[in-house]
Structure 1
Amino acid sequence: MIVRQALFEGTIRPGREQAFRGYVEEKLVPLWRAFPGVREVRVLHAVDRDEGAPAFAMILSTTYDDREALARALASPVRYESRELTKGLLEMFEGHIHHHVFDLDARSTA
Structure 2
Amino acid sequence: MITRSAFLLGRVAPEDQPAFDRHMRETVVAEILTYPGIRRVTLRKLAQADAGAEADAAYMQFDLFFDSHAAMDAALASPVRQAVQERIKAGMGPFAGRVIHVVSDMLEDRA
* TM-score w.r.t. length of structure 1: 0.92
Tell me the distance in 2 between the aligned counterparts of 1:8 and 1:31: 17
Is 2:80 the partner of 1:56?
Answer: no
- For residues 42-80 of structure 1, the C-alpha deviation after alignment (integer angstroms, 9 at most, x for no partner) is 000111111121311100001101100000110112211
- Give SS of 2:60's match: strand
Structure 2: unaligned runs, 5 residues or longer: none
Q: Distance in 2 between matches of 1:40 and 1:70?
A: 12
- Using the size of structure 2 for normalisation, the TM-score is 0.91
- Unaligned runs of at least 5 residues, structure 1: none
Measured in 2, the distance between the counterparts of 1:83 and 1:92 equals 17
State the match for 2:101 in structure 1: 99
Q: What is the match of residue 108 of structure 1?
A: 109
Determine what percentage of the aligned residue pairs are the same residue: 33
Aligned amino acid, residue 108 of structure 1: D
Give aligned pairs, total.
Answer: 109
4+ long deviations beyond 6 Å: none
Residue identity in the other structure for 2:26: E
Cα offset, 1:86, TM superposition? 1.6
- 2:77 aligned residue: 75
Counterpart residue identity of residue 69, structure 2:
R
Give, in whole Å, the separation in 1 of the partners of 2:26 and 2:14: 20
